[in-house]
Amino acid sequence: MKRIEVWLFRWSVLSQCLVFIVLSCWVQQGMTETCIKLPEPAVHDGTALTETLAKRRSVRDYSGREISLEQLAQLLWSAQGINHPSGLRTAPSAGALYPLELLVVANRVAGLDAGVYRYRVGQHGLEPVARGNIHNRLEKAAMGQAWVSDSAAVLVITAIYERTTRKYGHRGKRYVHIEVGHAAQNMLLQAAALGLGAGMAGAFDDAAIAQLLALPASEHPLYLLPVGWPEDP
């Protein structure tokens, strides 16, 4: 290769790297501008796991009291938050491929407008998806289960199967379903530890939920986890 060609090649590689860095900074900045930063999770609250297990129960009667943003942040972190500098999370994931996504349908959360939000794991933040209270429509999509709309918030676990099946093929689907159980149980135990009541709904119309949450075609709703202060603590 002639000297000028080598120089041109180096210049083209360098300029491509520069474009990549500038673009990723721009995307990152855009994300943080639209992302609501959540309170940092408590990692040493002294709650004993055994006591939490002893009191975990499905709760379907909620008081009208708001839950706090700190509590919501803690619940999200327990289900999918980062707990290791390398980016590993509170719930295990086959091949650390993390096919799960978390959305919040907020109804009564102090300091958070009613609406739909997506949990951004990397930023430990919430990205607004849609404004307004959709709890009644959520109840309808959950086969009319009234207790779903009584909750302060509903955490929705969705999955992008492709993230796991790309590597593990058909068996990846099984892994995703196992992971939903891990994430949901973390969140249910966290709710019990916080003195909150949480339930779970697997009975719902997939298409109706996907439409309400504006999910892309590749993302599928798997589990609804309503949460609130229990009516009878």
Ligand X SMILES: Cc1cc2nc3c(=O)[nH]c(=O)nc-3n(C[C@H](O)[C@H](O)[C@H](O)COP(=O)(O)O)c2cc1C
Task: List residues binding ligand X (CB under 6 A).
Answer: 57-58, 145, 200-203
Closer CB to ligand X, residue 96 or residue 203?
A: 203
Closer CB to ligand X, residue 38 or residue 75?
A: 75
Q: Report in angstroms how near the CB of residue 48 gets to ligand X at its nearest.
A: 19
Max Cα-Cα span within the chain: 81
Q: Report in angstroms how near the CB of residue 157 gets to ligand X at its nearest.
A: 11
Angle, CA of 5, 10 and 16, to the nearest 5° = 125
Q: Residue number with the shortest CB distance to ligand X?
A: 202
Closer CB to ligand X, residue 148 or residue 160?
A: 148
Q: Report in angstroms how near the CB of residue 209 gets to ligand X at its nearest.
A: 12
Q: Are 172 and 183 contacting, i.e. CB atoms less than 8 angstroms apart? A: no
Q: Report in angstroms how near the CB of residue 79 gets to ligand X at its nearest.
A: 15
Q: Are 105 and 116 contacting, i.e. CB atoms less than 8 angstroms apart? A: yes
Distances (CA, A) of 191 to 144, 206, 233: 24, 25, 13
Upper half-sphere CA count for residue 129 (Cβ side, 13 Å): 22
Closer CB to ligand X, residue 178 or residue 203?
A: 203
Q: Are 94 and 168 contacting, i.e. CB atoms less than 8 angstroms apart? A: yes
Q: Report in angstroms how near the CB of residue 158 gets to ligand X at its nearest.
A: 15
Burial of residue 159 (CB within 10 Å: 0-12, 13-18, 19+) is buried
Q: Are 61 and 196 contacting, i.e. CB atoms less than 8 angstroms apart? A: no
Closer CB to ligand X, residue 70 or residue 205?
A: 205
Closer CB to ligand X, residue 78 or residue 145?
A: 145
Q: Report in angstroms how near the CB of residue 201 gets to ligand X at its nearest.
A: 4
